[in-house]
Chain A
Amino acid sequence: MLTMIGITFREGLNRKVLLISLVLAAIFLGLYGTGVHYAAKSFNESPNPMLASVVYPQLLSFGLYFGGFIVSFLAIFSTVGAISSEIETGIIQAIITKPLRRRDYVLGKFLGLGLFLALYSAVFFTVIALIINLKTGLVLEGQWKALGLFALQPVVLLAITLYGSVVFPTIANGVVMFMLYAVAIIGGMVEQIGWLINNAGLQQAGIVTSLVMPVDSLYRKIVHLLLSPADNPLNALQQMGPFGSMAEPSVWMVVYALLYVVFFTGLAVYSFNRKDI
């Protein structure tokens, strides 16, 4: 299985997807850094602590939101054909006929890609947190937990996309996974609106989508972890808008996300064990 982890990891580094994501990340972080820099500069020139304490957190959530977007993009693209494309090209034929259990092939893929994605997103998170911290002096609570959750986001997508890669052809899998991801994103927004206008129907729709695809609720949880000192009177304002999190997802949502990962990875192994290649 170590061999599979190794080759998968190396493959991840070799793919064009990585290059694209790195370029995207560089552009994004560059723009983001510049934006934060000028925002901080203008607040330094004409101090307005009230406004700053609303705008800075919003800047942070914005960064994490789109950062999560890029990381998720990478997760789906690098996993979408992890198994199906090897079946389609036939590469797999010389691999799973080796003294290697099919389970180890799938788990090797999962761990190799998971390691790669978790590292990528951890670096991404750290850069955003550093930009915010250095430029605005905003003190972030629960950074480590948030970093863990941020790295968990692509792993959630990895698990279900890997399962998809066992049962669907590559293209179909890509379509399905992007639709699921879009559902999660829209569901998350709808839920925020639901809390804003206090509409239980919208809130429930959001909850249902986060059960189907828990990525977005992980993001909301991260925002809460970072910006939610209990006695902060501005909390409501900080969490307003599509990138905020008006209702904190419970710890159970995190547990659910972990179980989700375990479930779909297990399902991938189960289906692959029975699959004709």
Chain B
Amino acid sequence: MDMAIKTFNLTKKYGTKIGCAEICLRVPRGQIFGFLGPNGAGKSTLVKMLVGLLFPTSGKALLLDRPLGDTGVRARIGFLPENFRYHDWLTGQQLLEFHASLYGLSGTEKKRRVGEVLELVGLAGRERQKIHTYSKGMRQRAGLACALLPDPDLLFLDEPTSALDPIGRRDVREILVSLRASGKTIFLNSHLLSEVELICDAVAFIRQGKIIRQGSLEDLQTGDITVEMKVGNLTREMVNTLSSLARSLEVRENVLMARVKREEDIPRLAEAVVTGGGDLFEMNRKRSTLEEMFIRTTGGGEEIC
């Protein structure tokens, strides 16, 4: 597959402190890639290396087949920094024109793109206002607009919805999905799983600077199946049978949580309860959502907002 991003053992150390270590990623073109991890895991560090703010301690990376440090390729890359701050004494229009010039756009093309992105992020009509009068959400939209100016093939977004309300978040998701439809690649940093889960094709989990899991959303979600059962007349014998069927079993009074490997194991569980003389009041299959997995893989307990 054609890759928009390839990294080879990319490592950044701040002195002796690890920012991120030995990151090997493959992000195919045309996908939305979610980079997930708790705060301080090293997400921003990786993105900053990729967009050229930080110099890697070791390792290599290719963006759109060009090595890091190639300034030419940046005309095809958009970046929304985490702590977006812009010249707030400019108006929205002036800010976008400035960024368009930095992207090398000029004349009518500049005017056209500025108008288009204002429309796209929903700031049309507010472009004559100075940035310092914008709300936080509007600033984030303005930042996104700047990143979209060159109609980039590759877009890096570091926590793009942190300042947005639910409507704003939905708007951003819609923008991202429509960008993907036109073949763009999007690299999305987030500690909000619910965000990523809805739109990403593939994800990687990072914790303490190391990638602990990565893959397509489908692959990652076909893990174990969790089944919750409410059982009356529970006997020790029955629990033993169920444990031998399931990969793990949790018993809380009359509620049982069983994790099984395959779908075919679900009716077996029911059978074991019935033949063992129990009363099966309720049986639910729980999908292993990304969130559960996220908490599992990152060990829970971390600051997950």
Contacts and interface: CB of A to CB of B under 8 A. Distances in A.
Q: Say whether A associates with B.
A: yes
Interface of A: 3, 6-7, 11, 14, 89-91, 93-101, 274, 276-277
Contacts of A274: 55
Contact of B71 (A89, A90, A93, A99): A99
A91 B52 CA distance: 15
Given A3-B98, A90-B85, A277-B48, A97 B55 contact: no
13 contacts: A6-B101, A11-B89, A14-B89, A90-B84, A91-B85, A91-B86, A91-B87, A93-B83, A94-B79, A94-B80, A94-B86, A96-B53, A97-B51
Contacts of B77: 97
A98 B99 contact: yes
Contacts of B101: 3, 6
Contacts of B147: 94
Interface of B: 48, 51-55, 71-75, 77, 79-81, 83-87, 89, 98-99, 101-104, 143, 146-147
A183 B166 CA distance: 57
Contacts of B143: 94
B228 to A, nearest CB: 46
Contact of B99 (A14, A90, A93, A94): A94
A84 to B, nearest CB: 14
B157 to A, nearest CB: 12
Q: Give the interface centre of A3, A14, A97 by most chain B CB atoms within 10 Å.
A: A97
B103 A98 contact: yes
B10 to A, nearest CB: 14
A110 to B, nearest CB: 17
A141 to B, nearest CB: 43
Nearest to B72: A99
Contact of B53 (A14, A91, A101, A276): A276
Contacts of B83: 90, 93
B53 to A, nearest CB: 4
A4 to B, nearest CB: 8
A240 B122 CA distance: 68
A97 B101 CA distance: 13
Given A93-B81, A94-B146, A101 B71 contact: yes
Given A96-B53, A276-B55, 18 more contacts: A91-B86, A93-B48, A93-B53, A93-B79, A93-B85, A94-B79, A94-B84, A94-B99, A95-B102, A98-B99, A98-B102, A99-B73, A99-B75, A99-B102, A99-B103, A101-B71, A277-B48, A277-B54
